[in-house]
């Protein structure tokens, strides 16, 4: 019997596939649709201290090879999402979920996380260190000093399971430096990767989205090789207690299989979920199971991280 069940920290999931933060997760209604699908879990839209309208529209566009977005963290405020995941947590037979959060400054991030620490929510939190779309706010995880400072402070008061959503890194030295930072902390997981920040897509002579004169995060087919490289680079470098969630360019069972082969314990779907809707989880689960069955794998642990290299 082939199973795509998985575990992150002490939390069990019947399926290793779920949405990526930003897609199908703005409202309770959207989250409930993901919850009712074959997805093993959902992650909320990244919640900030106060609700935000985000950037002006058009701020998302599908392209032939994926998508570009500069949403600018529109969300209903972190307490909206905290209330919902806490409510679900208290229901019998509920799936386990991820609450995505970040402040617009380190001080705001600490204010939010202190409230989550004091709350009844005991589930997983994903701290988003990688949003490329808020004008004037850099992607935090590209600044290793600030990231170290934030995580040092966070773990002085935060005791619940916490992971971080990372931007893609592109240099072996940066993989080494980033892993050295994350290995200092009792993180439950890292999620690789957010969109490739600040790309530009042009139609005829005009940019596709309005914010930042068209600059936006790139998702979809464009980013799968970068996502796989980040998943595998961190799989090779992080303490085994820090698990990896793979995100980027997943639109088939084969893509999910490759993320797991590179070391992912869970796989998130962004652009393709936006394009296809929550029925995608059934299709990709069936495709992944068919590949596993063909190869004689019964569970994802049978091949997770077992990427082959070409020996001399």
Residue with Cβ nearer ligand SIN (268 or 285): 268
**Complete DSSP assignment for 251-280:** -SHHHHHHHHHTT-SEEEE-HHHHHH-TTH
CA atoms within 13 A on the CB side of 240: 2
- Distance of alpha carbon 262 from alpha carbon 260, whole angstroms: 5
Q: Which helix (H) or strand (E) holds 128?
A: strand 124-128
CB atoms within 10 A of CB 171: 9
Catalytic residue of the set 16, 25, 131, 192: 131
CB of 45 to ligand SIN, least distance (A): 8
Q: How far is CA 257 from CA 38, 82, 142, 253, in A?
A: 17, 31, 28, 6
Which of 20, 71, 129, 291 contacts ligand SIN by CB under 6 A?
Answer: 71
Task: For the segment 115-154, give every residue that binds ligand SIN (CB under 6 A).
Answer: 128, 130-133
Q: Does 265 bind ligand SIN (CB under 6 A)?
A: no
Class of residue 290 by CB neighbours under 10 A (exposed 0-12, middle 13-18, buried 19+): middle
Q: Does 233 bind ligand SIN (CB under 6 A)?
A: no
Q: Does 194 bind ligand SIN (CB under 6 A)?
A: yes
Which of 15, 37, 147, 195 contacts ligand SIN by CB under 6 A?
Answer: 195
Strands 215-220 and 196-200: antiparallel
Q: Does 163 bind ligand SIN (CB under 6 A)?
A: no
Residue 22 among known ligand-binding residues: no
CB atoms within 10 A of CB 89: 15
Residue 195 among known ligand-binding residues: yes
Q: Is 16 a catalytic residue?
A: no
Q: Does 73 bind ligand SIN (CB under 6 A)?
A: yes
**Choices 66-74, 78-86, 222-230, 297-305; region in contact with ligand SIN by CB under 6 A:** 66-74
Q: Does 188 bind ligand SIN (CB under 6 A)?
A: no
The residues that are catalytic are 131
Binding residue ranges for substrate: 45, 69-73, 128, 194-195
Applying CB under 6 A, the residues found at the interface with ligand SIN are: 22, 46, 71-73, 128, 130-133, 194-195, 217
């Amino acid at each position: 019997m082939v199973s795509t069940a998985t575990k992150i920290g002490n939390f069990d999931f019947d399926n290793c596939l779920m949405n990526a933060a930003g897609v199908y997760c703005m409202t309770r209604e959207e989250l409930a649709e993901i919850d009712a699908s074959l997805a093993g879990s959902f992650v909320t839209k990244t919640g900030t201290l106060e609700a935000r309208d985000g950037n002006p529209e058009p701020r998302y566009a599908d392209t032939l090879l994926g998508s570009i977005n500069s949403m600018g963290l529109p969300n209903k405020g972190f307490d909206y999402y905290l209330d919902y995941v806490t409510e679900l947590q208290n229901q019998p037979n509920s799936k386990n979920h991820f609450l995505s959060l970040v402040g617009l400054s380190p001080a705001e991030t600490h204010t939010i996380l202190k409230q989550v620490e004091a709350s009844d929510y005991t589930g997983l939190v994903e701290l988003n260190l990688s949003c490329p779309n808020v004008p004037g706010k850099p992607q935090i995880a590209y600044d290793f000093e600030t990231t170290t400072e934030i995580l040092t402070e966070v773990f002085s008061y935060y005791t619940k399971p916490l992971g971080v959503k990372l931007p893609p890194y592109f240099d072996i030295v940066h993989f080494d430096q980033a892993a050295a930072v994350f290995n200092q902390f009792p993180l439950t997981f890292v999620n690789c990767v957010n969109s490739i920040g600040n790309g530009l897509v042009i139609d005829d002579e005009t940019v596709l989205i309005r914010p930042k004169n068209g600059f936006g995060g790139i998702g979809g087919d464009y980013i799968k090789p970068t996502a796989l490289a980040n998943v595998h680079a961190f799989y090779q470098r992080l303490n085994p207690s820090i698990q990896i969630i793979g995100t980027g360019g997943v639109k088939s069972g084969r893509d999910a299989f490759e993320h797991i082969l590179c070391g992912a314990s869970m796989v998130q779907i962004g652009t393709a979920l936006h394009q296809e809707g929550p029925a995608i989880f059934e299709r990709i689960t069936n495709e992944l199971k068919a590949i596993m069955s063909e190869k004689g794998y019964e569970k994802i642990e049978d091949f997770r991280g077992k990427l082959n290299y070409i020996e001399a």
